[in-house]
Homo-oligomer: A and B are copies of this chain.
Amino acid sequence: VTRAAVVGIGLIGGSVALGLRARAFDRDEVVRKAARRRGIDVAESLPEALDGADLIVAAVATLDTPAVLQEAAARAPAALLTDVASLKRPAADLAAGLPPGVRYVGGHPMAGGSPPGLDGARATLFAGRPWLIVPTQRSDASSIERVSAEARRLGALPVLVEAERHDALMAWISHLPLAVAASLARAVARAAPEAGAFAGPGLLDTTRLAGARLDLALELWSSDPLRLAAAVDSVAGNLTELAALLRGGDRSALEAFLLEAARARETITGKTKPRRP
């Protein structure tokens, strides 16, 4: 019999606990009570949660992840460790410092949504979503396969990616959309303070990330600010190009811009294979 333990019962941790029927622990007593009401097997202490677990999922904030992994490695040295932190270069650094023999595979499920926290948790959160699997120097083939298999059990699509490449991609795929949503929300609210009475699903979807938790947003933006700044500049450049096309009144140029955007959207949704230049 195998048993998974989840540390941290937020949106991701709660969904993993529900989907894998794992034992879970959260340092917040209010969250533990709420999790019990959701039918999660909640331990009253971290040692109780980890005891007998063969797979431990650290599902806490990125900054808190190393401490949780180190404690898990100390208390359950035979267990396979993984995490869900949104930065993976720190995970690779951490791996080197874990006790010899401890196995650790980095993970990053590309799932989210609202409401935040346990309230939004559900076993189906990961269905059809990528689950990025990031090997470390403490990952062997069977560990990687086990974490991938658990991701598949949750309905996710495991994708193997190296730590450096992961973090570089996140600047574009995760931190940049937040920057764009925040900039759009700011511009609209300044120009049209009555927007709330008129907004449709387009504006609401495009600005959703602007409502992200401040601490999480700052953590993401502070991880690699120069790379993110370059990505932000790239979108600003696209917008400036578009404004010039609008002023120039060249309908075929506008059409070409929209066509490229529609193809780009298909690339992003995975409907078309990437074309490399």
Contact = CB atoms under 8 A, between A and B. Distances in A.
Identical copies in the complex: 2
Nearest to A224: B246
Contact of A177 (B178, B193, B202): B202
A143 B166 CA distance: 58
Given A222-B251, A274-B194, A189 B236 contact: no
A2 interface: no
Contacts of A180: 180, 184, 206, 239
A26 to B, nearest CB: 23
28 contacts: A112-B202, A130-B199, A174-B202, A181-B261, A182-B264, A183-B238, A184-B235, A184-B238, A186-B238, A186-B257, A189-B267, A189-B268, A190-B234, A193-B276, A196-B267, A196-B274, A202-B208, A205-B205, A205-B208, A206-B206, A211-B262, A211-B265, A218-B254, A221-B254, A222-B254, A226-B246, A235-B239, A236-B236
Interface of A: 110-113, 129-130, 132, 159, 161, 169, 172-174, 176-212, 214, 217-218, 221-222, 225-226, 228-240, 242-244, 246-247, 249, 251, 254-255, 257-276
